Amino acid sequence: RKEVEQDPGPFNVPEGATVAFNCTYSNSASQSFFWYRQDCRKEPKLLMSVYSSGNEDGRFTAQLNRASQYISLLIRDSKLSDSATYLCVVSPSGGYNKLIFGAGTRLAVHP
Can you give the binding site for other proteins, defined by CB under 8 A? 4, 8, 42-46, 87, 95-104
Strands 55-57 and 45-49: unpaired
Q: Report the nearest approach of other proteins to the CB of residue 43 (Å).
A: 4
Residue 57: burial class (beta carbons within 10 Å; 0-12, 13-18, 19+): exposed
Q: Report the nearest approach of other proteins to the CB of residue 28 (Å).
A: 19
Q: Report the nearest approach of other proteins to the CB of residue 102 (Å).
A: 5
Q: Which residue, among 88, 83, 87, has the nearest Cα to 69 in the 3D structure?
A: 88
Nearer to other proteins, 45 or 79 (CB): 45
